[in-house]
């Protein structure tokens, strides 16, 4: 988040809390992982200062057997307590994500099959063309090594061209999506690419 908003240590920001504007200085950053669904916040105040402003307490509880928990008795002890069952929402979200995963998997499978069909057809056509091309090279007096070398050079040029074109459209597409749809700052981090490549090679070798 700090990178997206171009925030640095020592910057001053202003928050409006119940109509009162409060200035704060950024003294440190921390890494937050929201995937574990534990309580976490994007900003943390000095506890001594936070006690002076209106606030509420927030907590999470996990029960081994939720059926034994009596909400009525809890509300009798703490009448101002508000309870939200996250498990119900998680089940709904999980169900939706599972359906999305299945749909994406099917679409990806169909795309891969179509791609393989197109590639195989292109290879067959290219093979026929290469037969006539090699025949012409032999008629012109090219040796077998020269024909193989020319085919290798042609393959390298096509391979590099396809990679560069794919990278170009991937970068342009990701930049457009991040800046126009998600409204985030886009940046190309080569360290992440190197780490991902290293992890992939390690997993393949393992």
- Residue 202's pLDDT is 58
> How high is the pLDDT of residue 36?
59
Q: What is the pLDDT of residue 201?
A: 59
In this prediction, residue 199 carries a pLDDT of 63
pLDDT at 203: 54
Write out the two tokens for 155.
């393959």
Q: How many residues does the chain have?
A: 206
Task: Let me know: does 186 contact 179? Beta carbons within 8 Å.
Answer: yes
pLDDT for position 204: 54
pLDDT tens track for 19-28 = 778 888 888 8
Positions in the chain short of pLDDT 50: none
What is the reported pLDDT for 72? 83
CA dist., res. 143 & res. 133, Å (int)? 13
pLDDT at residue 1, as a whole number: 67
Model pTM above 0.75: no
């Amino acid at each position: 988040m700090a990178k997206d908003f171009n925030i640095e240590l020592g910057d001053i920001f202003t928050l409006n809390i119940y109509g009162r504007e409060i200035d704060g200085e950024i003294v440190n950053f921390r890494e937050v992982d929201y995937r574990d669904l534990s309580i976490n916040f994007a900003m943390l105040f000095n506890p001594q200062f936070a006690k002076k402003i209106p606030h509420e307490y927030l907590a999470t509880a996990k029960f081994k057997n939720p059926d034994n928990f009596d909400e009525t008795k809890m509300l009798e002890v703490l009448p101002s307590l508000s309870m939200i069952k996250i498990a119900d929402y998680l089940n709904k979200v999980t169900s939706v994500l599972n359906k999305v995963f299945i749909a994406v998997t099917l679409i990806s499978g169909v795309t891969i099959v179509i791609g393989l069909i197109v590639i195989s057809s292109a290879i067959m056509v290219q093979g026929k063309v290469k037969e006539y091309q090699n025949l012409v090279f032999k008629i012109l007096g090219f040796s077998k090594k020269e024909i193989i070398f020319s085919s290798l050079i042609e393959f390298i040029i096509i391979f590099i061209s396809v990679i560069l074109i794919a990278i170009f459209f991937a970068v342009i597409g990701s930049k457009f999506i991040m800046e126009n749809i998600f409204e985030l700052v886009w940046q190309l981090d080569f360290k992440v690419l190197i780490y991902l490549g290293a992890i992939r090679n390690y997993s393949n070798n393992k």
